[in-house]
């Protein structure tokens, strides 16, 4: 196990290993997959929990030029780390923040007429600032609606002087390769681009997130915006288009005990002991991002809970996930694999983030972004950044 080679301090009760070489390799894979277009990377939400500053420096060192964050505060935190890159703020400007975009050289995404209006006032004095224009083609979340787009024509000075670099939209069903909606959104974006051309002048277009890249080159347009794939998440049945795993999580075995009936395990007594059972208690819980629904929430529930690996052997979680602890039925495992002071694998080569997400009724994105700050973090590779 690689854990032995890493100098983990004795105080670490759980370990989050982030493989920077895998992140690099995933980025390079996408560059090959979309060779004619720019590959921009989403580092919002602290690079999906993995450390935005580290990831930004790393990818910048291998040629990534455009980074996406959600909030202006995220952008301000990163601007000095990657001074030669463009940082695009997806949520766009509001009354209170628009000046800070200029002061910090951040690029806003303009999502509505309101944001266009705010940015217009800012750019009267700063005509050289680029912006992104986001049109809604099927998410009804961010982006100008049809109605708003039509309004741009009735007041044709609304976009004047805005210096729009990219016209973008976002796919609702990119992970479903057969969804009609993908092509509809692509066609809609291209139609809007042509319609807006007299107002915007020539602009680049962007639609695909990670999953969108694998819908085919038609979806690549001029710029793709990836996140999930870089961080090792995969859509179902990715085959040769799989990303390399980036994250591994190990947690220490605190106690191992034999329990016999009549007895129950954990809060709410949701798991009933019906035969002699060996239980390992491990140092990770929902405060470390291990989703509570990975365990047995209710007594009536028959669902398969998430698994934990000891070496190459799996064992199920029994009872509820606590704030700081997991209880695992290790009755089927040889004693020597489950010893206090040893480590259990919660996410890794045996059990991927996507596996854990499936067992927990959520998606890999949620698992990643919730991993939290308590794990002892180890970054592998990335020398010289």
Ligand X SMILES: *Cc1c(COP(=O)(O)O)cnc(C)c1O
Residue 281 touching ligand X (CB under 6 A):
no
Provide the β-strand partners of residue 272: 264
| Nearest residue relative to ligand X (C-beta) | 227
Residue 205 touching ligand X (CB under 6 A):
no
Residue 220 touching ligand X (CB under 6 A):
no
Single out the catalytic residue among 33, 53, 267, 365. Answer: 267
Residue 226 touching ligand X (CB under 6 A):
yes
Residue 279 touching ligand X (CB under 6 A):
no
Look up 267 and say whether it is catalytic. yes
Residue 26 touching ligand X (CB under 6 A):
no
Whose tokens are 């602890």? That residue is 325
Total chain residues near ligand X (CB under 6 A): 10
Residue 228 touching ligand X (CB under 6 A):
yes
Residue 367 touching ligand X (CB under 6 A):
no
Stretch that binds ligand X, among 74-82, 225-233, 244-252, 313-321 (CB under 6 A): 225-233
* Residue 46, C-beta contacts closer than 8 angstroms, at least 6 positions apart: 52, 74, 369
Residue 225 touching ligand X (CB under 6 A):
yes
| β 307-310/313-316 pair status | antiparallel
Residue 210 touching ligand X (CB under 6 A):
yes
Stretch that binds ligand X, among 153-161, 226-234, 237-245, 308-316 (CB under 6 A): 226-234
Residue 289 beta carbon to ligand X: minimum distance, rounded to whole angstroms: 17
First vs last C-alpha separation in the chain: 26
Q: Which of residues 37-56 bind ligand X (CB under 6 A)?
A: 42, 44
Catalytic (active-site) positions:
44, 267
Residues lying near ligand X in the complex (CB under 6 A) are found at 42, 44, 90, 170, 209-210, 225-228
């Amino acid at each position: 196990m690689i854990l032995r080679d890493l100098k983990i301090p004795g105080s670490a009760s759980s370990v989050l290993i982030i493989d920077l070489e895998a992140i690099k390799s995933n980025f390079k894979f996408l560059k090959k997959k979309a060779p004619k277009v720019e590959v921009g990377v989403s580092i919002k939400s602290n690079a999906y929990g993995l450390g935005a500053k580290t990831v930004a420096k790393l990818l910048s060192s291998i040629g990534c030029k455009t980074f996406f964050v959600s909030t202006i505060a995220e952008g301000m935190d990163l601007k000095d780390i990657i001074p030669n890159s463009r940082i695009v703020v997806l949520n766009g400007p509001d009354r209170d923040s628009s000046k800070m975009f200029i002061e910090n050289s951040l690029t806003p995404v303009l999502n509505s007429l309101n944001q266009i209006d705010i940015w217009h006032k800012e750019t009267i004095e700063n005509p050289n600032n680029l912006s992104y224009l986001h049109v809604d083609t099927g998410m009804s979340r961010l982006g100008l609606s049809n109605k708003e787009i039509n309004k741009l024509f009735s007041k044709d000075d609304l976009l004047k002087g805005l210096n729009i670099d990219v016209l973008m939209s976002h796919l609702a069903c990119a992970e479903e390769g057969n969804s009609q909606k993908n092509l509809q959104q692509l066609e809609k974006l291209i139609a809007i681009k042509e319609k807006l051309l007299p107002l915007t002048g020539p602009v680049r277009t962007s639609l695909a997130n990670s999953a969108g890249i694998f819908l085919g080159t038609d979806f690549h347009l001029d710029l793709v915006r990836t996140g999930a794939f870089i961080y090792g998440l995969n859509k179902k049945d990715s085959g040769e288009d799989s990303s390399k795993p980036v994250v591994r999580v190990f947690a220490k075995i605190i106690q191992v005990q034999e329990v016999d009936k009549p007895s129950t395990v954990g809060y709410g007594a949701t798991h009933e002991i019906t035969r002699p059972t060996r239980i390992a208690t491990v140092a990770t819980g929902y405060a470390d991002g291990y989703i509570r629904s990975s365990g047995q929430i209710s007594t009536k529930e028959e669902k398969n809970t998430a698994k934990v690996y000891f070496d190459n052997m799996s064992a199920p979680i029994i009872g509820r996930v606590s704030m700081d602890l997991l209880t695992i039925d290790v009755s089927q495992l040889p004693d020597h694999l489950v010893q206090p002071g040893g480590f259990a694998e919660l996410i890794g080569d045996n059990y991927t983030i996507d596996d854990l997400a499936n067992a927990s009724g959520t998606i890999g994105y949620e698992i990643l972004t919730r991993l939290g700050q308590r794990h002892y973090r180890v970054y592998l590779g990335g020398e010289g950044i």
